[in-house]
Amino acid sequence: MTLSDKNFAFVMHCGEMGSRWGFNRTIGQMCGLLIITKEPMTANEIADALSISRGNVSMGIKELQSWRLIKVQHIPGDRKEYYAPAGSIWDMANRVFEERKKREIDPTLSLLRDNLLEPATNDDEKFAQQQMHEIHDLLETVTKWSSELQRLSPEQLQSLMKLGSGIGKVLDFKDKILKKS
């Protein structure tokens, strides 16, 4: 199975972007490949399509599984493993978002919490703590929000998404209501 030029270009683009999205080139390519391929693929097919070693594919699969982006399927009478995206595009974007929050925000939040528990012992530390406090609050807000978004029903989410520039108006509206009551 060979990719058409256009599809190949997309897969290569995913490779280029890979490291910006949180993984590396190969894993970006694998992810892109599995997304645009209708049928689940075997590890060997992936290796062939991308001209990379079998071992590298194995690593990549492990990584993609740790991101919960792919799932394994079996075909009766065939002992090979077939890989496919673990959900819709939306699901996958969500997973990447969640996973990146875990890697990019949580560790810092934890460090800041620890730091802010101890009292500052001089002026430098006092100023530093003020700054850290601001960062802490910002990250907490982001965290609260992302978990809030996770909790919304798909319909609510869609409603929110479609809102777009309407969000400002809804906010003003809400504020008015709250002031009255």
**Euclidean distance between CA atoms 12 and 33, whole angstroms:** 9
E strands in 18-118:
41-42, 70-75, 78-85
Do 137 and 129 form a contact (C-beta atoms < 8 A)? no
Task: Please tell me whether residue 82 adopts helix, strand or coil conformation.
Answer: strand
Q: Does 62 bind its own copies (CB under 8 A)?
A: no
Residue whose CB is less far from its own copies, 35 or 52 = 35
Distances (CA, A) of 163 to 90, 145, 171, 177: 18, 17, 11, 19
Which of 78, 118, 180, 181 contacts its own copies by CB under 8 A? 118
Q: Which residues bind DNA (CB under 7 A)?
A: 19, 24-27, 42-44, 51-56, 58-62, 77-81
Binding site for its own copies (CB under 8 A): 3-4, 6-7, 9-10, 13, 16-17, 20-22, 35-38, 88-90, 93, 100, 103-104, 107-108, 111, 115, 118, 121-125, 127-128, 131-132, 134-135, 138, 141, 144-145, 148, 151-152, 156, 159-161, 163-165, 167-168, 170-175, 177
